[in-house]
Amino acid sequence: MFPTPIEKAPRSWQLGYQGLLPVMLVAWLLPLIAVAMFSIKPDVDFTNGDYWGVPSRFAGFENYGKVFFESDMPRYLMNSVLITVPTVIGAVALSCMTGFALGIYRFRSNLWIFFMFVAGNFVPFQILMVPVRDLTLDLGLYNTKLGLVLFHVAFQTGFCTLFMRNFIRALPFELIEAARVEGVAEWRIFWYVVLPLMKPAIAALAVLIFTFIWNDYFWAVVLTQGAESQPVTAGITSFNAQYRAAYHLMSAGSIVAALPPVAMFFLMQKHFIAGLTLGAVK
């Protein structure tokens, strides 16, 4: 335990620590708290120049109501869901297989293929931008959700393979040996022996990829335009152009856009952190 557990410290230190915690938290989240407060203020507060005072009345319902019923926001949200969910399924499915192949079998190019996935995953997006945009145009998928999904699946496979392969490496190999001795076919070993053991890794990856893809902005701008296919991260900029200087609506819109990954994080916290910190301990 480091630093020294606070229970062993004098009573006054303990109280000081417990008092300091909320203060630090408020300071840390100050910009967010400000936005949350903006989003429930009525219009008139801003025109009066009263940005930071207590809201003159609670206008949360009308602000969020406008976001949901009088703007393109629901469409953007829907697009985000239709982009994110298939990507998660695709990337996790592909990487279960690649991770299995690289984690279980010994063959000469194994490590090189693994490193190719890892290196590709670190590449700056910009070097892919022009060719991938061209490819998507050629396939007739520019400005479609499918075009975005296909690229995301391919790119995320790099990270997911790294993750899955390391997870499978840590499984007891005797299980697979035993199954082989029993004469179980390779695909059955994958399906009935290894896959059930991978559930925690699948859960962790699914929440991570969900967050990554939901929050993607660069590819959304490069591969789509317009409300019919843009996800919410790109949509929020047009939303803001529409409500320029209407800070209460822009704040409400931002919060709506940010909420799904936040909800995902709080619901699946254990898996999320397990995924992010894989490899952080030996």
Partner 1 sequence: MTHATLPTTSAPLPRRRNAQAIAPWLFLAPGLLFFLFYVIFPVFQSFNLSLYKWDGLGAPEYVGLKNYRDLGSDRAFETSLWNNFKWLVLYLLAIPGGLFIALFLNQTVTGIRLYKSLFFFPFVISQVVVGLVFTWFYDPTFGLLNILLGWVGLGPINVLGDPTLVTYGIIAAGLWPQTAYCMILYLTGLNAVDPEQVEAARLDGARSWRMLWFVIIPQLRPATFIAFVVTIIGALRSFDLISIMTNGGPFGSSRVLSFYMFEKALSEYGFRMGYGAAIAVVLFLIMLVFIAYFLWSMYREETGR
Number of Cβ within 10 Å of residue 165's Cβ equals 22
Nearer to partner 1, 18 or 56 (CB): 18
Nearer to partner 1, 52 or 69 (CB): 52
Whole-number Å distance between alpha carbons of 187 and 166: 20
Helices (H), the chain: 11-28, 30-38, 43-47, 60-69, 73-104, 110-122, 126-138, 145-169, 173-181, 186-188, 195-197, 199-214, 218-223, 232-242, 247-267, 269-276
Least CB distance from residue 199 to partner 1, whole Å?
19
Number of Cβ within 10 Å of residue 237's Cβ equals 13
Nearer to partner 1, 85 or 129 (CB): 129
Q: Which stretch binds partner 1 (CB under 8 A): 53-61, 65-73, 96-104, 195-203?
A: 96-104
Least CB distance from residue 61 to partner 1, whole Å?
21
Residues between 125 and 154 with contacts to partner 1, criterion CB under 8 A = 125-133, 135, 150-151, 153-154
Q: Using the rule CB under 8 A, is 51 a contact of partner 1?
A: yes
Interface residue with partner 1, options 59, 73, 101, 201 (CB under 8 A):
101
Least CB distance from residue 137 to partner 1, whole Å?
9
For residue 226, report the phi and psi dihedrals to the nearest 5 degrees: 90, 155
Residues between 60 and 79 with contacts to partner 1, criterion CB under 8 A = none
Residues 6+ apart with CB under 8 A from 132: 151, 222, 223
Q: How many residues bind partner 1 (CB under 8 A)?
A: 100
In the numeric block, the tokens 């059930």 are attached to 196
Interface residue with partner 1, options 12, 69, 107, 172 (CB under 8 A):
107
Interface residue with partner 1, options 175, 185, 197, 267 (CB under 8 A):
185
Whole-number Å distance between alpha carbons of 186 and 158: 23
Residues between 186 and 245 with contacts to partner 1, criterion CB under 8 A = 186-187, 190, 211, 214-215, 217-218, 221-222, 233, 236-237, 240
Whole-number Å distance between alpha carbons of 36 and 38: 5
